[in-house]
Amino acid sequence: MVKSAVPQISVESLAARLKSPEPFVLLDVREDWELNRAAIRDSRLQVKPLSRLSREGTAGLPADAQAHDAEVYVLCHLGPRSDQVTAWLVSQGWTRTFSVTGGIDAYARKIDRSVGSY
């Protein structure tokens, strides 16, 4: 198995973080239609589809993800888009940004089927 150069967080570790009251940003970069099929419900969830983020750049990030030291977990369907966004943020100077390994699909399969799948 090839290890990703992009900083990662497992769905198990994300589930533990979601149980804590600690602040962080769960940045979902999926498109709106995907959110209707599967979603994690949490007040720290911020939605910024990759299609919009690619046009707006870092200025398009949610306010609580703007700081380079913000703790940000990037989520997509299977992982490639969150890897792309995480790598981009790291290249822009973000230091505590992680891609959710396997995306919401892995989260639904391993942690909580009630979030839905597609």
pLDDT at 5 (0 to 100): 87
Average pLDDT of the residues of the chain: 95
Cβ(76)–Cβ(52) under 8 Å?
no
Q: For residue 2, what is the enclosing H or E element? A: none
- Indicate the fold that domain 8-115 takes in CATH: Oxidized Rhodanese; domain 1 (3.40.250)
How far is residue 47's CA from residue 12's CA, in Å, rounded to a whole number?
21
pLDDT at 96 (0 to 100): 98
Residue 1 has pLDDT above 70, yes or no: no
Residue % of the chain over a pLDDT of 70: 97
Residue 60 has pLDDT above 70, yes or no: yes
Question: Model-level pTM?
Answer: 0.94
Region 55-82: mean pLDDT is 97
Give residue-wise pLDDT tens across range 32-57.
Answer: 999 999 999 999 999 999 999 999 99
CA dist 43 → 4, 8, 15, 22, 73 (Å): 29, 22, 14, 11, 14
Question: Coil, strand or helix: which one is 56?
Answer: helix
pLDDT at 37 (0 to 100): 96
